[in-house]
Structure 1
Amino acid sequence: MPAQVSGLSRYPIKGLSYQPLNSVTLQAGRGVSGDRAFALALPATVFDETNPQPLSKFEFMMLARQEALARLKTSYDGSTGLFSLIDGTERLSADVHCAEGRAAIEAFFARFLPEDQKSSKKPRLVTAANHCFTDVGVHSSELMHAISVLNLASVRDLEARIGERLDPRRFRANILVEGLDPWVENEWLNHELMLGAVQYRGMRLTRRCPATEVNPDSSIRDINVPRELMRFFGHIHLGIYLTVIKGGVLRIGDTVTAAG
């Protein structure tokens, strides 16, 4: 089977559920539209939505610190602005474009703050034009709009070594690829390749953080992925960030090839 794209996703709100896609239209120098478009800023975080500056991921709610976020089933409709979530028997639907809707969302997420960060202030739902809340956005504008790719063969290789199943959702990638050799993605760094009709360049290997320890079904930290990567491979990289050089439509089933 030729190497191909087997999954496409975006994460409308940093740290929350993914939205599966069948196809995505990509532009040069831009990421997946709507990916990490919102974030929940911690009460002490200063973020100006009219003049956005990249901030450390530690300024926002995230799975690396608030693993209980994984138990939430969330969705976002970009055409209407409707955000919905399910937490057990509790349900919330709110419009992110109105003050009342944002206030309801912020009040809900206040309960997930660590005790030392709980105060009269609540987390703040933030967004800004042409701004993505990617972890690597602090390094450059190009990386802010990079696309994360996960080679499923590399995941399976790590699985075999540790004797545990690793759900690809742990890695929160935009693109899943199948049919490659394990770890071949590390060779894409600073090289060009094609996924379907879209041309990319490898930008940065993905360093794995404690967010990958969290089981996406149970919301429990059950596998120390960074430690296992270091134990077996001497590094904590799994996946790669690509930047789009020549845009186009990417679809599930598109082939992965070297750029001609």
Structure 2
Amino acid sequence: MTSEGRLAQIFRHPIKAHGREQLASVRLSEGEAMPWDRHWAVAHDLSKFDPAAPSWKPCINFQRAARSPTLMAIEAQFDEVSGEMRLTHPELPPLVFFPESEGEKLIDWVLPISPQLRFRPVALVHAPDRAMTDTAYASVSIKNLASNAALGQKMKRDLSIHRWRGNLWVDGFAPWEEMNWVGRRLRIGATVLEIRERVGRCRATMSNPETGQVDADTLDALMETVGVQDFGVFGTVLEGGEIRPQDRVEVLA
């Protein structure tokens, strides 16, 4: 038995926790994260990331919106051909720089909205051939528009989907249906993903993505609604291909 919906929106986050970018299409590859998603991360002064031996590290080693909520208001535009990045934030002037060679410009730019003592940002880093995803494996996050709408209704307010920093947003499914997809496969257009686990949420989702200010207790609302602080699921790519909004999404048995 299958259920069906459609792919509604696609997003990537080129620098982990530092900006979102909407895409018109994306090509997924077997066993890999979304291209340029979480490609870079911002190491803080207590990070165990080793530039001499770069490798994936857990979220605690990097600047996060859970600790610096104003980061949620950053938007990004990344030019894959030129390598140029443009970041905007309501409290800062726009920043245009090249992440591969000008990481210090980002650090200087983000310092005013970052911790000033412990966990102060110090370097823009990345690991060869490995995205800094929230999981120890290369993952793509999938979110359900109906679940976001249902939680907003519970909280009696509109909730921006950007609170959840998802990659793929699907529509046409029942609220919270995705919570039962773990262990199943999802066909999106020409691709197939295996759903590995639910996404545990943190305090970052309490921040308004337009202002960066904490203004909604999403974590308590999740506990009251579904009994856990989870929203969305992580998947791994089994069969790659190009996908775009309006592609059919099938939950396979």
Tell me if TM exceeds 0.5.
yes
1:56-75 residue pairs with structure 2 within 5 A? 56-75=58-77
1:34-53 residue pairs with structure 2 within 5 A? 34-49=36-51, 51-53=53-55
Name the residue aligned to 1:215.
208
Name the residue aligned to 1:96.
99
1:140-179 residue pairs with structure 2 within 5 A? 141=137, 145-179=138-172
- Does structure 1 retain, via aligned residues, the 8 Å contact 2:66–2:203? yes
Pairwise CA distance, 1:55:
2.1
Q: Structure 2 residue aligned with 1:238, among 231, 237, 250? A: 231
Q: How many residues are paired up?
A: 249
Aligned equivalents of 1:74, 1:256: Cα separation in 2: 27
Deviations 1:13-70 (A, max 9, x none): 0112211111111111111100000011002213234533332212111111111123
What is the CA RMSD across the aligned residues, in angstroms? 1.9
Gaps in structure 2 of 5+ consecutive residues:
none
Which deviates the most, 147-156 or 68-77? 68-77
* 2:126 pairs with 1:127: yes
Matched residue type, 2:108: A
Q: For 1:13, what is the secondary structure of its paired residue?
A: coil
Aligned equivalents of 1:118, 1:159: Cα separation in 2: 32
Matched residue type, 2:72: A
- Does structure 1 retain, via aligned residues, the 8 Å contact 2:13–2:76? no
- Does structure 1 retain, via aligned residues, the 8 Å contact 2:19–2:87? no
Name the residue aligned to 1:5.
7
Task: Please identify runs of 4+ aligned residues in structure 1 that moved more than 3 A.
Answer: 71-74, 86-89
- Does structure 2 retain, via aligned residues, the 8 Å contact 1:50–1:128? no
Change (3 A) 1:118 1:187: closer
Matched residue type, 1:132: A
Pairwise CA distance, 1:195:
1.1
Aligned equivalents of 1:232, 1:198: Cα separation in 2: 32
Change (3 A) 1:28 1:172: same
Give the TM-score normalised by the residue count of structure 1.
Answer: 0.89
| Structure in which a larger fraction of residues adopt helix | 1
Give the TM-score normalised by the residue count of structure 2.
Answer: 0.91
Pairwise CA distance, 1:5:
0.2
* 2:107 pairs with 1:111: no
Pairwise CA distance, 1:163:
0.8
Change (3 A) 1:92 1:161: closer
Percent identical residues: 27
- Does structure 1 retain, via aligned residues, the 8 Å contact 2:84–2:96? yes
Aligned equivalents of 1:194, 1:161: Cα separation in 2: 30
Which deviates the most, 46-55 or 212-221? 46-55
Name the residue aligned to 1:22.
24
